């Protein structure tokens, strides 16, 4: 096993060592982590921002909220009982081979490294998801399984703290010689997963590994050696370092996190030995410093991880220039490059506005293809992660709107209803025969039981698993309701007083929500209710009396002395609405999408006459679409039933004369976009041409 480490000086020292026999002359070697336990923070939030000075909405602890019934309770149960166990069988077996890589690196198994360079990070994400489930159900078997894995990871970790299995196993890869090996991506997910494990168990066995690795990174990167300046491009390490800072209170980790932000865009953009094999420039957000950037560019996952990490740094530093840049980039993503489903990353291959080659990411503003829309599941999830952070920083409900949009649409569309099959990309239209899937690497005609690039599935399931932790936040003197769904909340306010709430609702299928106060302090405090931007005409009552003005796109604030038994009722009218795109989105001119509440709908071949081309389906403004609850269909959904018009004349030529088309009326139903492709192969579209009557 070949290993390269660097001293705290700028000199590069090349050394080789075997696991278990560290070079005694290596100054960064340590067989045990340093003593850090005395200063550990006891916060247990998904993001531990309780003591972050520049956060308006603080996290509740993991486990304080649990989904009890309805939409999210059903999804969380599938995650608990199927998604995560099934994924574990894959990742711990010979197909997913993630665990095998750690065993081989630890010297416990013979074999070769398999999978992409970032596979370690995806395994850590699955471990993190397991711990979120434990945080609610308290099944000790989960901890036992994770602790066995941690023991193997500890044996794989090198004496100096280095930990990335490709370079440990393979003789042709030296650590931190080329950024395409994604070592810092692996690092970020390691640090985050270890922090979550500590918060939920109180054990430091995983945290020991994380601290040892973070100390290694600090010694390696803090001197800013020239040959390492371009490595921080897949920015999970920023989030991981900030969480480790919040956990251990070691300021070096925050300093290093900010350093990774500060280094971007400060060097000449050219290929060198550290960049060969991976696109440069806007692809990895390195052409313009973050604080000066005006548009979202490049790989969408890399960009949104970068923004989310920068949001974490701002929570600790309060630097105005940083938050200004993040607000500017949020506006560019949301209002010029985001799909109606909350998805981002318009194309698989393309170029940035500055003419850099990009993959899996952003292209020009308002350039929004439907059929070839890439919309990587990870990118969509990253969009929700970034918006959750921005919500906590600003208290602005617009960020909650985007978070909710992703969670109900482009996030869930990446996994089948049974939790066992996956999509990497999430187009808004599928036409049979239009794409040659044999020439593509992550686009498929239907969901796959395993993706060779396995970054998206664990990202999706860890999001579902931690979703109860996003449902509420602690305000300055109260509690904020971020997400609606049947749940129970048992937490404390920032002053330490207890609060218990019960939420009853059939959201997102119905806009009626009832929140009951079960326990609270005697003094007055606030309950903040996020009113989605679509929810015009919302009414709010407390114990039957109108209580607050509900302005769409804001938090409605109710300040009063609460007592056990008080009931808040929220009535959000859920109308079926046609949504059109900006005039500059050429791909959807004279077309509309259908949305009801936070849910975007689509139509599939399965709900049309046999051999109907999806491009021949039209909407009529005169035909009403009626919501119909179907608890035994597609996992329990509300469909929209009504008539569509099917064009009968065929368009066979590239261009041809046209006269008044012949239409046939057909009664059908529209399904939630997230539930498409669960009934075999077929065509699908979100946007449809409309005939106005």
Task: Give the pLDDT confidence of 323-359 residue by residue, as tens digits.
Answer: 999 999 999 999 999 999 999 999 999 999 999 999 9
Q: In the chain, what percentage of residues exceed pLDDT 70?
A: 95
In this structure, are strands 637-647 and 591-596 parallel, antiparallel, or unpaired? unpaired
In this structure, are strands 525-531 and 478-481 parallel, antiparallel, or unpaired? parallel
- Is the C-alpha dihedral spanning 63, 142, 41, 76 positive or negative? negative
pLDDT digits (tens, 9 = 90+) for 142-155: 999 999 999 999 99
State the chain's maximal CA–CA distance in angstroms: 85
Strands (E), 597-635: 599-604, 617-620, 626-630
pLDDT of residue 32: 57
Looking at the DSSP assignment, which residues form a beta bridge with residue 362?
298
pLDDT of residue 523: 97
- Is the C-alpha dihedral spanning 173, 174, 177, 179 positive or negative? positive
d(CA 246, CA 392): 16
Q: How many CB atoms lie within 10 A of CB 666?
A: 14
Mean pLDDT of 352-380: 96
d(CA 185, CA 355): 26
Mean pLDDT of 41-50: 95
662: which DSSP letter? P
Model confidence band, residue 103 (pLDDT cutoffs 50, 70, 90)? very high
Looking at the DSSP assignment, which residues form a beta bridge with residue 665?
645
d(CA 633, CA 682): 18
* Listed residue (273, 268, 275, 337) closest to 307, CA to CA: 337
Residue 214: is its pLDDT beyond 80? yes
pLDDT of residue 34: 73
Of 354 and 435, the structure prediction assigns the larger pLDDT to 354
Of 14 and 205, the structure prediction assigns the larger pLDDT to 205
* Angle, vertex CA 528, rays to CA 527 and CA 531, nearest 5: 140
Q: Distance between the two ends of the chain, CA-based, in angstroms?
A: 72
Looking at the DSSP assignment, which residues form a beta bridge with residue 664?
646
Mean pLDDT of 112-139: 96
Q: How many CB atoms lie within 10 A of CB 47?
A: 27
Mean pLDDT of 16-45: 58
pLDDT of residue 33: 63
Q: Which residue's entry shows tokens 């996290």?
A: 59
Mean pLDDT of 539-567: 97
pLDDT of residue 166: 97
Mean pLDDT of 157-181: 96
Mean pLDDT of 246-273: 96
Residue 2: is its pLDDT beyond 90? no
Residue 16: is its pLDDT beyond 50? no
Q: Are 337 and 344 in contact (CB under 8 A)?
A: yes
Q: Where are the alpha helices (DSSP H) in 157-234?
A: 165-169, 183-201, 205-221
Looking at the DSSP assignment, which residues form a beta bridge with residue 570?
513, 540
Q: In the chain, what percentage of residues exceed pLDDT 90?
A: 88
Average pLDDT, the chain: 93
Model confidence band, residue 29 (pLDDT cutoffs 50, 70, 90)? very low
pLDDT of residue 442: 76
Model confidence band, residue 296 (pLDDT cutoffs 50, 70, 90)? very high
pLDDT digits (tens, 9 = 90+) for 304-321: 999 999 999 999 999 999
pLDDT digits (tens, 9 = 90+) for 61-84: 999 999 999 999 999 999 999 999
Of 339 and 4, the structure prediction assigns the larger pLDDT to 339
pLDDT digits (tens, 9 = 90+) for 409-423: 999 999 999 999 999
Helix (H) or strand (E) holding 41: none
Mean pLDDT of 581-609: 97
Model confidence band, residue 565 (pLDDT cutoffs 50, 70, 90)? very high
């Amino acid at each position: 096993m070949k290993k390269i480490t660097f001293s705290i000086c700028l000199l590069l020292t090349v050394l080789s060592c075997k696991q278990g026999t560290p070079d005694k002359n290596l100054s960064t070697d340590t067989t045990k982590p340093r003593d850090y336990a005395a200063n550990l923070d006891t916060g247990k939030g998904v993001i531990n921002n309780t003591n972050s000075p520049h956060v308006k909405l603080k996290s509740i602890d993991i486990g304080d909220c649990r989904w009890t019934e309805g939409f999210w309770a059903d999804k969380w149960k599938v995650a608990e009982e199927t998604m995560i166990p099934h994924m574990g069988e894959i990742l711990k077996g010979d197909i997913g081979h993630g665990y095998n890589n750690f065993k081989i690196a630890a010297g416990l198994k013979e074999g070769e490294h398999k999978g992409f360079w970032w596979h370690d990070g995806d395994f850590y994400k699955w471990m993190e998801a397991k711990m979120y489930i434990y945080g609610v159900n308290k099944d000790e078997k989960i901890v036992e399984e994770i602790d066995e894995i941690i023991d193997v990871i500890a044996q794989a970790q090198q004496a100096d703290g280095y930990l990335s299995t490709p370079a440990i196993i393979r003789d042709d890869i030296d650590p931190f010689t080329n950024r395409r090996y994604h070592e810092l991506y692996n690092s970020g997910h390691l640090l985050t997963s270890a922090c979550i494990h500590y918060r939920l168990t109180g054990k430091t066995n995983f945290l020991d590994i994380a601290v040892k690795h973070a100390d290694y990174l600090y010694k390696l990167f803090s001197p800013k050696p020239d040959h390492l300046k371009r490595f921080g491009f897949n920015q999970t390490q920023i989030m991981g370092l900030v969480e480790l800072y919040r956990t251990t209170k070691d300021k070096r980790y925050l300093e290093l996190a900010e350093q990774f932000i500060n280094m971007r865009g400060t060097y000449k953009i050219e290929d060198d030995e550290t960049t060969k094999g991976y696109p440069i420039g806007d692809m990895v957000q390195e052409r313009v410093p973050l604080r000066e950037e005006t548009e979202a560019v490049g790989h969408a996952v890399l960009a949104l991880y970068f923004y989310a990490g920068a949001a974490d740094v701002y929570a600790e530093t309060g630097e105005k220039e940083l938050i200004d840049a993040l607000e500017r980039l949020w506006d560019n993503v949301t209002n010029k490059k985001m799909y109606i489903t909350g998805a981002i990353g318009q194309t698989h291959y393309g170029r940035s506005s500055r003419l850099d080659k990009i993959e899996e990411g952003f292209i020009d503003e308002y350039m929004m293809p439907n059929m070839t829309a890439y919309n990587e599941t990870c990118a969509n999830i990253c969009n929700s992660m970034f918006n959750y952070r921005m919500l906590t920083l600003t208290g602005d409900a617009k960020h909650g709107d985007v978070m909710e949009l992703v969670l109900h649409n482009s996030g869930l569309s990446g996994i089948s209803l049974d939790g066992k099959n996956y999509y990497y990309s999430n187009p808004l239209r599928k036409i049979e025969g239009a794409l040659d899937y044999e020439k593509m690497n992550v686009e498929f005609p239907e969901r796959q039981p395993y993706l060779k690039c396995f970054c998206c599935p664990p990202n999706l399931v860890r999001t579902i698993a931690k979703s109860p932790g996003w449902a509420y936040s602690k305000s300055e003197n109260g509690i904020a309701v971020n997400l609606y769904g049947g749940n129970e909340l048992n937490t404390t306010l920032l002053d330490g007083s207890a609060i218990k709430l019960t939420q009853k609702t059939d959201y997102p299928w119905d806009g009626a929500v009832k929140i009951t106060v079960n326990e609270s302090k005697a003094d007055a405090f606030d309950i903040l209710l996020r009113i989605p931007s679509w929810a015009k005409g919302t009414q709010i009552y407390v114990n039957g009396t109108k209580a607050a003005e509900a302005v769409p796109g804001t938090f409605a604030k109710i300040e009063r002395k609460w007592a056990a038994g008080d009931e808040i009722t929220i009535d959000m009218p859920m109308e079926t609405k046609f949504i059109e795109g900006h005039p500059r989105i050429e791909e959807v001119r004279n077309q509309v999408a259908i949305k009801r509440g936070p849910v975007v709908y689509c139509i599939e071949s399965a709900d049309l006459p046999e051999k109907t081309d999806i491009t021949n389906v039209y909407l009529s403004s005169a035909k009403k679409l009626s919501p119909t609850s179907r608890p035994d269909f597609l996992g329990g959904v509300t469909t929209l039933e009504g008539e569509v018009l099917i064009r009968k004349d065929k368009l066979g030529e590239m261009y041809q004369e046209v006269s008044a088309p012949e239409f046939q009326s057909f009664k059908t139903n529209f399904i939630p976009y997230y539930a498409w492709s669960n009934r075999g192969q077929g065509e699908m579209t979100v946007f449809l041409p409309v005939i106005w009557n």
